[in-house]
Structure 1
Amino acid sequence: MSPDASAPVTPLPEASAEEPHQPQAVPVKRRPRGRTTLIIAAAAVLGIAAGTAVGYGVQAGRAPTPLTALSQSDLAYPAKALPADQVPDPLPASQDRQVRTDGDLRKLIIPRPAGWSDNRDMGVLPDGWMGVDDYALDFKSEDYMYGKLLAADIRRVAAASWKKGTYRTANVWLVQFRAGVDTAAADHAESQRAYMPVADRGAGNEGSALKGSGRGRYYLYKAERKAGYMPVYRARAVFHRGDVMVDINMFDTAPISKKDIRTLAERQLERL
């Protein structure tokens, strides 16, 4: 059928030179968000699992690697003892601290000073030993200290307690640790010195260095005063030698001089 000639013809709009004809944009269907990430993650998991399985299979197919023989052909020490004329002389007791401290530790406590008498009120046993529990009782946290000493492999405590006049007392404690724990005595001494500058726990000051003792120090406490009671003065010295930690305390209702505690500590240091 031919088109109807009589039908009106709608003219096409003329393209403008300034405004060229713009085609209409065709809407694009977007992929749902997250699908690509999920696909990549799943592929990574499958890759890791496959790699692990292949690695186990390769390792299982290999022959076991033999261990190094425990026995060695060459000894690190001479097979035969040295001749008598080549054996080195043992260290003298003055240089070998273990020889001194392996014996009766109580004999290393300085002799009772002149003018003093024995004091049996400080937990010292009649034979001169002190139990670890009795030693720990002197600390505010005795349960903690008791456990700490046991963990450090404490060996024994030799002790002496003296009194002079009505109120002055002095306690000397030699706290020994097992020889295999080289730093136990030093660590225990350092833990005691660490809190001494704190007023409510220690002396409230840095103390004074004890010459010849390494890091040893001695301290004077501020007087403890309570209504209705006489003041209590205290001095303390803390140092160590080898596997022995030394703890010296003095108490009195009258002031204690630095010389009093220093002299006692210096004598004990020389004794060790």
Structure 2
Amino acid sequence: MSETEQSTPREQPPAPEALETTEAPAPEATADAVPDATAPAKVRKPRKPRPVLAAVARWTAAVVVCGGLATGTAAGITAMDRGDVPGLETEDDGRWQYPKLSLPQLPQGSPRPFTPGNDGEVHHADLRRLVLPAPAGARVDPKRNGGWASVDDYLSLYKKGERDDLRQAIDESALRHVAARSWTMPDGTKSAVYLLRFKSVGFSEAFKDDALDAGSEGSVPLDGVGSIERESIAAHVRVPGTALYALAEKKPYGAEQTRWAYIQAGDTLALVVQSRKGGVETVPFRQTVILQTQLLG
């Protein structure tokens, strides 16, 4: 998680109008009203409780007690996590357990990338703070643990025959920084996230469109990848200011399949890559792409 998971203050709702209050009319005098203090007091015999009224009172008390118990039970359930309620456990759908994400603090007076006045759509936060953290259970590559990465490291993801042209495009595109993180999950899925920050959104888009051709099946292939097909993942990601291009290796592929996505977010272009023997699972791939997009949006 692509400054940013993590806001323009909202307008406060108008204060509610004061409720009108009226004084209740004084009760009219009745035959049972308290007599004048100077009059002799009347002694009344205590009435015996009526059987019907007594029964109603008992049932009313029972309903109140049961209602209170029901309310307490409902409050207890709503306060619990869904997985803690017996019979309502959420079945594991394959998602990874990422740590809670938050947007890094911006330097004093710096705007967010997609706010008015930031024409270059520049991310002013530390780029390394925008790289998605590894999920629980991952074995993180110590050489790519969210720090700065070299251009050669980034280019090593592509086929050798494409690297010289990409290097020249990078030299001409005012690239400022590269940050990266990679990890391996217990099921063998290998993931890598690279963030490339350019001088402005114009340079970032030019590299994505002209050098990488990221939005088509003719995109520059990654190393070890055969034929390519596009994936319809953008419908699952709605982050204002960002654009998403997802690609996958077609069958038949070799020992493992590779899936990757480019995330265009202002001056920053992200590359998320996953590969796995037998095929990359859809849920964790989309989850990883979505979270990285949110961090950059």
Q: TM-score, normalised by structure 1?
A: 0.55
Where structure 2 has 5 or more consecutive residues not aligned to the other structure, the ranges are 1-108
Relative to structure 1, is the Cα distance of residues 147 and 94 closer, same or farther in structure 2, using a 3 angstrom cutoff? closer
Matched residue, 2:271: 247
Matched residue, 2:193: 172
Q: Which has the higher contact order (CA 8 A, sep 6+)?
A: 2
Answering whether residue 277 of structure 2 is matched by residue 258 of structure 1, we say no
Matched residue, 1:136: 155
Specify which of 201, 217, 240 is matched with residue 245 of structure 2: 217
User: What is the aligned-residue identity percentage?
Assistant: 21
> Could you list the per-position Cα deviations for residues 193-231 of structure 1 after superposition, in whole angstroms to 9, with x for gaps in the alignment?
4475149947522321423355412222125655xxxx1
> Could you list the per-position Cα deviations for residues 100-144 of structure 1 after superposition, in whole angstroms to 9, with x for gaps in the alignment?
823321101122112212024xxx456711111221222221111
Between the aligned partners of 1:156 and 1:252, the Cα distance in structure 2 is 28
2:138 and 2:184 in contact (8 A); partners too: yes
Matched residue, 1:104: 126
1:233 and 1:253 in contact (8 A); partners too: yes
Relative to structure 1, is the Cα distance of residues 91 and 157 closer, same or farther in structure 2, using a 3 angstrom cutoff? closer
RMSD: 3.1
AA matched with 1:172: V
Between the aligned partners of 1:208 and 1:133, the Cα distance in structure 2 is 30
* Deviating more after overlay: 139-148 vs 93-102: 93-102
Between the aligned partners of 2:172 and 2:278, the Cα distance in structure 1 is 38
Matched residue, 1:79: none
Deviation at 1:93, TM superposition (A): 3.9
For these two proteins, the number of residue pairs brought into alignment is: 175
AA matched with 1:186: E
2:229 and 2:250 in contact (8 A); partners too: no
Relative to structure 1, is the Cα distance of residues 223 and 170 closer, same or farther in structure 2, using a 3 angstrom cutoff? farther
Between the aligned partners of 2:180 and 2:156, the Cα distance in structure 1 is 14
1:196 and 1:203 in contact (8 A); partners too: no
AA matched with 1:218: A
Deviation at 1:91, TM superposition (A): 7.2
Q: TM-score, normalised by structure 2?
A: 0.51
Relative to structure 1, is the Cα distance of residues 103 and 148 closer, same or farther in structure 2, using a 3 angstrom cutoff? same
Matched residue, 2:217: 197
Matched residue, 1:183: 202
1:129 and 1:157 in contact (8 A); partners too: yes
1:193 and 1:238 in contact (8 A); partners too: no
Answering whether residue 138 of structure 2 is matched by residue 116 of structure 1, we say yes
Between the aligned partners of 2:202 and 2:133, the Cα distance in structure 1 is 28
* Aligned-partner SS, 2:137: coil
1:110 and 1:271 in contact (8 A); partners too: yes
Where structure 1 has 5 or more consecutive residues not aligned to the other structure, the ranges are 1-89
Between the aligned partners of 2:177 and 2:220, the Cα distance in structure 1 is 29
Between the aligned partners of 1:268 and 1:224, the Cα distance in structure 2 is 29
Q: Which has the larger radius of gyration?
A: 1
